[in-house]
Chains A and B, each alone.
Chain A
Amino acid sequence: MLYRSKLLQATAIPQAMAVPKERAEEVHVRGSANAAVTLEEFGDFQCPPCGALEGPLRQIERDYASSLRVIFRNFPFTNHEHAHEAAYAAEAAGLQGRFWEMHDLLYREQSVWAKSSDVQSLFDAYAGMIGLNLERFKKDVSGEQVKAKVEGDRKRGEALGVRNTPTIFINDESVPPTSLNPTALRAAVDAAVKEKTRS
């Protein structure tokens, strides 16, 4: 199926793999800086399974607030008509310090804007709703900086073997697609937290 992730082995990120380096401020992180567990998601804002996983993932974030840090990476697919525009909108919001607000809004309203014939005006409206400087947002969203950021995320994903979205790594271990459901993901986070607590 188009949106179903192919079965991947739960593998650690090879150390020798050519994963692009980036500055800390370029990474979108939510959660405690001292968290024992890092969950890294490669997502596409127009991918329905990513949208479906967003709610449960937010709940897990809240429940493991002190021990979990979440990183989001863009991995938009070209077969999703507005996925790149959505990623650019999120990154443009990030340039004004509101990446996560736009991220949450894009996922929550996914079914609406995905069908829109004038998606950019809707993204502009979202930007207004979350209190962005609209002129700057409009300029940034078509700028090279956000495109470079999205491309950087995509390259990192490809280097890590990401082929589908959502793809999630917990402490650099990829989570099998069969575990990308609320119960199994919670169990995986819980196991990682316990393992870190023991060691």
Chain B
Amino acid sequence: MKNNRATSKPGGNAIAISRSQIVIYAIVALISLAGLADATYLAVQALTGETMVCGGSPDCFKVLGSPYARIGGVPLAFIGAVAYFCVFSFAILAAFGYARVRRFLLFTVWSMFAVTLWLLYTQAFILHAFCRYCLFSAAMVFLLAGLIVASRSP
């Protein structure tokens, strides 16, 4: 195929990857960087106990100050930052033709998608407040999910 290129990687992971897939994985990597920046900022603020992040927004305080913002004392934003970093790494590797990481990428993005749906539900129906940083992250995850679907289209 004209648009395809064959790549061969050590360990027997040889796959053919189209140019459009490379572009999609590159966009996935870029979007995950945006999400990583958002999550890292929130994680650092949470870990240092800084409260400027929500200045003037009671809704932001209600979300980020709620028990749902931490799991076992660990800020959810920190877990999000790790997830975005994984997505970034997997997308870069996938763009270079590593077949095995595509499964990890798929699993990570769909896991993030499921968690995002739960968090949106929590904000809408439990906390009755939305945090702009969380909405930004949700938008990034929806974009990632859409791109992952697109990358699997024939």
Contact = CB atoms under 8 A, between A and B. Distances in A.
Interface string A122-134: 1011111111001
Nearest to A119: B58
A31 to B, nearest CB: 19
B69 A128 contact: yes
Interface centre among A101, A121, A130 (most CB of B within 10 A): A121
B58 A122 contact: yes
Q: Give chain A's interface secondary structure class.
A: helix
B56 A127 contact: no
A113 interface: yes
Interface stretch (B7-15, B18-26, B60-68, B117-125): B60-68
A104 B55 CA distance: 12
B49 A131 contact: yes
Contacts of B65: 124-129
Interface size on A, as a range, is 10 to 19
A119 to B, nearest CB: 10
A129 B61 contact: yes
Given A124-B65, A134-B67, A129 B58 contact: no
Nearest to B75: A131
Contacts of B56: 109, 112
A105 B64 CA distance: 14
Contacts of A130: 49, 51
Given A124-B65, A131-B49, A134-B67, A108 B58 contact: no
Nearest to A105: B51
Interface string B54-82: 11111001101111010000000000000
Contact of A122 (B49, B62, B64): B62
Interface of B: 49, 51, 54-58, 61-62, 64-67, 69
